[in-house]
């Protein structure tokens, strides 16, 4: 785990209201924070069972099954939460038959041990 991490999280009213609400027995803000923790802050090659992808800063790879274990809920709940996060513009997801590549749209940058790392996928509020 990184020693000293901060990030610039920018939300519009719809996104903040979505995260503040609770449905399906899951804390949505906690779910978003866990996604931020999974997000790459440096480019990496992801390989698993013959599937290879370049994961850029601001992206992470996670299947619904993996997230259901992390969030301790069923896969259907994960699917709903991810769909809703996509709808309100917090993330963008591209699915394949092996896994999903998620792109974080609401974090502008990370500051890790004093070094700023920009998220090139960050979308201004007017663009979300």
Instruction: For residue 74, give Cα distances in angstroms to 78, 81, 107, 119.
Output: 7, 11, 27, 30
Note whether residue 128 is domain-resident.
no
Note whether residue 99 is domain-resident.
yes
Q: pTM of the entire structure?
A: 0.88
Note whether residue 74 is domain-resident.
yes
pLDDT band for position 128 (cuts 50, 70, 90): low
In tens, the pLDDT along 46-96 reads: 888 777 889 999 999 999 999 999 999 999 999 999 999 999 999 999 987
**Which pLDDT does position 107 carry in this prediction?**
96
**Which pLDDT does position 104 carry in this prediction?**
96
Note whether residue 127 is domain-resident.
no
Residue 1 pLDDT > 70: no
Note whether residue 34 is domain-resident.
yes
Q: Compute the distance between CA of residue 68 and CA of residue 61 in angstroms, rounded to an integer.
A: 14
Note whether residue 77 is domain-resident.
yes
Asked if 86 and 93 touch (Cβ cutoff 8 Å), the reply is: yes
Return the CATH number at 115: 1.10.10.10
Is residue 9 classed exposed, middle or buried when 0-12, 13-18 and 19+ CB atoms within 10 A define those classes? middle
Number of domains observed in the structure of the chain: 1
Domain span including residue 51? 5-122
């Amino acid at each position: 785990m990184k020693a000293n991490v901060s990030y610039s999280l920018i939300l519009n009213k719809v996104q903040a209201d979505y995260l503040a609400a609770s449905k399906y027995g899951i804390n949505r803000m906690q779910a978003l924070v866990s996604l931020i923790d999974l997000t790459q802050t440096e480019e990496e090659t992801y390989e698993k069972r013959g599937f290879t992808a370049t994961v850029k800063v601001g992206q992470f790879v996670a299947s619904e099954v993996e997230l259901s274990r992390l969030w301790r809920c069923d896969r259907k709940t994960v699917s709903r939460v991810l769909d809703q996060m996509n709808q309100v513009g917090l993330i963008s997801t591209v699915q394949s038959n092996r896994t999903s590549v998620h792109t974080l749209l609401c974090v502008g940058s990370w500051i890790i041990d004093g070094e700023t790392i920009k998220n090139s996928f960050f979308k201004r509020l007017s663009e979300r």
